[in-house]
Amino acid sequence: MLNCKEIIQTIRMIKDQHLDIRTITLHVSLFDCISDDPDRTALNVARKLADKAGNLKATADKIQSKYGIPIVNKRLSVSPVSLIGAASGGYRQIALAMDEVAKKVGVDFIGGYTALVQKSMTKEERDFILTIPEVLACTDRVCASVNVGSTRAGINMDAVALMGEVVKETARLTADLDSIGCAKLVVFANAVEDNPFMAGSFNGVSEGDCVVNVGISGPGVVKAALEQIRGESCDVLSETIKDTAFKITRMGELVGREAAAELGAEFGIVDLSLAPTPVRNDSVGEVLEEMGLSVVGAHGTTACLAMLNDAVKKGGTMASSHVGGLSGAFIPVSEDIGMIEAVRAGALSLEKLEAMTSVCSVGLDMIAIPGSTSAATVSAIIADEAAIGVINNKTTAVRVIPVWGKNSGDVEFGGLLGHAPIMPVGKGNADAFIARGGRIPAPIHSYKN
Amino acid sequence: MKAIVSVIGRDRTGIIAKVAYKLYEMDINIEDISQTVMQDTYFTMIMMISVRDDGPAIGEINAALQSVAAELGVEIRVQHEDIFNSMHRI
């Protein structure tokens, strides 16, 4: 029998601490939509998505009402479009079909405008990547991602160089909206195939036909739990985080299984990531400060984040039969009030954020940088992050926004994407290094130091 | 199906009576009830209810209770018991 204290604890988590299901993402395979005719492929894609996702919003609303837990986003994710459109070359038509279905079925983002080029790039994949800026400019809900490195393959530096250009061109084409197109473009190393979070979600080639993956949230819940144990040792800190992560994840599992059954889909995974929003008490930055930092970005931040990330994983893995996705703590600057304030106060730099990405998921995320930053420097930022991921056998990513025509001040992206102060990039350049191209070989796995 | 009705707000007369009467109107049985008043004014009531398979959905019960919530000036939630079980029971 449940007791009052437990019931009140759950209600408080939802009511006061912003506990919610961040996203129910329906992953759909598009391999049966391929044809050599661009229009026919796009039509097949539209039909399949409308068929599979027609009930997504109604299902989410029903579960939300049954359990009284907010389900913030309903999303779609598809097989990498670089593969689906290769036979016809109709990448743009597929993107337009995806955007239209997303609007029709009421999902805010659809991921999977994706290429996996960690080892090498075919001519078709290069052609595909070159369509990304225009597609992000002429669609509203399509998200793109490109995987440029992996621990097994090394880093494809030709792709890294190309992505610097693509990020800059996307910024230029969406200049009138503070380069918002770049907020829908992620460059990965070691991308995962079952990530439900945008903008980097896609349905991996080894995934099923129709799979429900769930992303949970809960930085506010962790912060509230830590407020009760101020001054206690790191052992207590870690146990408290684990305990909280367990409870949050159990709820994600319940919702994911029910959504999958209702939609006639397979239940995939729960992604344990602590995902912040730009409101107070829903911030990973604030959790880190509650752990004992005067401000996020201070010395000690990397250690706190490492413990937080690890404890979340330990608590969550026991709570769910299948954990996957990115699973850790996100540190997107523009989407986290604690991070935004730390940047404004001059306490958090790009260099410190880079160090933090070596111990958490995912990478340099939602960071506005000066519009004058060169394509080669964007590529160099991508190369640095990819190196951290490839050497440490973890996922890393870059989602930076070189705000066209602006070099300082604040930019507003709106909604969950939040707002961010433009952060300066490092002095000097890596132009000659990026111009080399080729491939950084896969790392050795012995003699680790 | 079992669900939890929670009422949170400032204490006043008639909270239990009005919530229970609304549930009675929908032919819903109350299996357990507990209440506390914190700091003399903050009222919390938890009810475990059982709803027949052919009875109303949780969304409908919730909607019906919102008129009572508005009248009493309290917050009322109805949630399937599984959300609490999943979180607090292994």
Q: pLDDT at position A311, please?
A: 94
Mutate to test the interface with A, among B84, B85, B89 (most CBs of A within 10 A): B84
ipTM: 0.89
Q: Cβ contacts of residue A146 below 8 Å, gap of 6+? A: A114, A115, A116, A117, A129, A132, A159, A163, A166, A186, A187, A188
Residue B64: the pLDDT is: 95
pLDDT at A2: 81
pLDDT of residue B73: 93
Helix axes B58-72, B15-25, angle to 10 degrees: 150
- A62 → chain B, closest CA residue: B59
Span between the terminal Cα atoms of chain B, in Å: 20
Under DSSP, the state recorded for B2 is: E
Distance from CA of A282 to the nearest CA of B (A): 20
Model confidence at A20: pLDDT above 80: yes
Given an 8 Å threshold on Cβ–Cβ distance, is B59 in contact with A65? yes
**Mean pLDDT in residue range A256-272:** 95
List the CATH code of the domain at A28-189.
3.20.70.20
Residue scoring higher pLDDT (A275 or A304): A304
A164-223 pLDDT, tens digit per residue, is: 999 999 999 999 999 999 999 999 999 999 999 999 999 999 999 999 999 988 899 999
Cβ count within 10 A of residue A206 = 7
CA A175 from centre of chain: 23
Name the minimum distance, in Å, from the CA of B43 to any CA of chain A: 12
Cβ-based contacts of B81 with chain A (< 8 Å): 2
**What gap in Å lies between CA A52 and CA A210, rounded to an integer?**
8
**What is the rounded distance in angstroms from the CA atom of residue A326 to the CA atom of residue A188?**
12
pLDDT, position A5: 85
Average pLDDT over residues A233-244: 96
Spatial contact of A365 and A330, defined as CB atoms under 8 Å apart: yes
Q: What is the CATH number of domain B2-88?
A: 3.30.70.260
Domain spans of chain B, in order of start: 2-88
Subunit contact A66:B59, Cβ cutoff 8 A: yes
A446 confidence band (pLDDT: 50, 70, 90): confident
What's the pLDDT tens digit per position in B10-69?
888 999 999 999 999 999 999 999 988 877 677 899 999 999 999 999 999 999 999 999
pLDDT tens figures, A62-85: 999 999 999 999 999 999 999 999
Query: Start-end ranges of CATH 3.20.70.20 in chain A?
Result: 28-189, 213-440
pLDDT of A146-180, one tens digit each?
A: 999 999 999 999 999 999 999 999 999 999 999 99
d(CA A269, CA A203): 12
> What is the mean pLDDT of the segment spanning A413-423?
89
* A119 or A2, greater pLDDT: A119
| Cβ–Cβ gap B80/A67 under 8 Å | yes
CA distance A305 to A330: 10
**Mapping DSSP to helix (H, G, I), strand (E, B) and coil, where does residue A113 land?**
strand
Residue A16 has what pLDDT?
87
Give the torsion through C-alpha atoms of A334, A336, A342, A346, to 10 deg.
-10
User: Given an 8 Å threshold on Cβ–Cβ distance, is A4 in contact with B46?
Assistant: yes
Q: Assign 3-class secondary structure to A13-71.
A: HHHCCCCCEEEEEEEECCHHHCCCCHHHHHHHHHHHHHHHHCCHHHHHHHHHHHHCCCE
Residue A449 pLDDT > 80: no
CATH classification code of A213-440: 3.20.70.20
Structure tokens at B10: 């400032």
Look at residue A218 in the predicted model and tell me its pLDDT.
86
Residue from the list A1, A8, A251 with its beta carbon closest to the beta carbon of B83 = A251
Is residue A34 within 8 A of residue A87, CB to CB? The reply is yes
Residues 6+ apart with CB under 8 A from B75: A15, B7, B8, B9, B69
CB burial of residue B71 (10 Å; 0-12, 13-18, 19+): exposed
Average pLDDT rounded to a whole number, residues A17-22 = 91
Q: Which chain B residues touch A250 with a CB distance below 8 Å?
A: 86-87
Scanning every residue of chain B, which has its alpha carbon at the shortest distance from the alpha carbon of A254?
B86
A375 contact partners, CB below 8 Å, separation of at least 6: A164, A165, A167, A168
Closest to A403 in 3D by CA, of A421, A381, A417: A421
Which pLDDT band holds residue A275 (cuts at 50, 70, 90)?
A: confident
pTM given for the model: 0.93
Determine what percent of chain B is predicted with pLDDT higher than 70: 99
Res B90: pLDDT: 81
Q: What is the pLDDT of residues A25-61, one digit of tens each?
A: 999 999 999 999 999 999 999 999 999 999 999 999 9
pLDDT, chain A, mean: 95
Distance CA A50, CA A61 (A): 18
